[in-house]
Amino acid sequence: MALQSSKRARDYGLRFGVLPTGPLNMITDVPGVRVGQVTLNEEYHIHTGVTAILPHDGNQFQEKSPAAIYIGNGFGKLVGYTQIEELGTLETPIILTNTLSVPTAADALIDHTLTQPGNEKVRSVNPLVGETNDGFLNDICGRHISKEHVLNAIHQATTGYVEEGNVGAGTGTVCFGFKGGIGTSSRKLPPSLGEFTLGVLVQTNFEGVLRVAGLPVGIELGSYSFKENLDGSCMIIVIIDAPLDARNLKRLAKRAFMGLAQTGGIGSNGSGDYATAVSTAYRISHESSSLFDEVKLLRNDNVSPLFMAAMEATEEAIINSLFAGQTLTGYERHEVHQLPVDKVVELLKKLT
């Protein structure tokens, strides 16, 4: 297996938008956010995994997070959508995995919730599980993900550095005909705009005509999906520490797809494209003696910079997933090559 450079897109001088990043340029720049990943690479045919995203370190069921989901294209198996759409709250960690492991992951999330102290009387749980189909490189029908893998991803979740590329839920994914995977990025707004931090994590497994920093890299490389097929999916997780309610979180999630479009993705007929947006600025108690929730929310007039941040961070996270991807030979000896980063950098110099 050829090893990809540890450099990220920004390390080559590439810039995506105008807003500054957080210290790590990762979703974990949002205070309290944790990510855990379990990766399965067994023999030649099993290449899959689990990525867990935890908005805070408390009991997620008892201290729910405001959340919303926007569907770019609904050819997917996202579990948990309707309750979030109805109530605007997230009550479990977010799990990403492969398509046929969604039921297993949901079952594990229920186990996780029911066994947490304070949840002894819980009788209903809304697990949130997203997916993309890694069946080209992974023996997806073997359903090799177990509940233990999911629970381990949750228990291993930490703040700080997030591994990208062929890891977790991105182990066996393909993007723009190259090896895709997990990617992440962040934006930090200046004090005049609220000093909020927004982070994005993506699981890339979709097609289109690749653009990098606005330039037609896919065309220059002679590699684009109209030559073969257009199917695939992308899961986008947006987390922000600004006080937004579900309505404005859905508006924020919509803007993430502008970032996807910037990379050349088109939201094809067979694509499951979902953006989940979560705020960590406040929590909603499962039980309360009060008749009211009293929350100070950011005004509509002040959310535009957050929209830009979501677009920029999503674009960069997708490109980071490609820069981190490694050539992989998988199920039925299918091989997907990594993005030729050095060639891409040279092309970008020529095009600019």
Q: Which residues are catalytic?
A: 233, 271, 273
Q: 135-144: buried (b, 16+ CB within 10 Å) or exposed (e) per residue?
A: bbbbbbeeeb
What distance in Å separates the CA atoms of residue 177 and residue 208, rounded to the nearest whole number? Answer: 9
What distance in Å separates the CA atoms of residue 60 and residue 93, rounded to the nearest whole number? Answer: 7
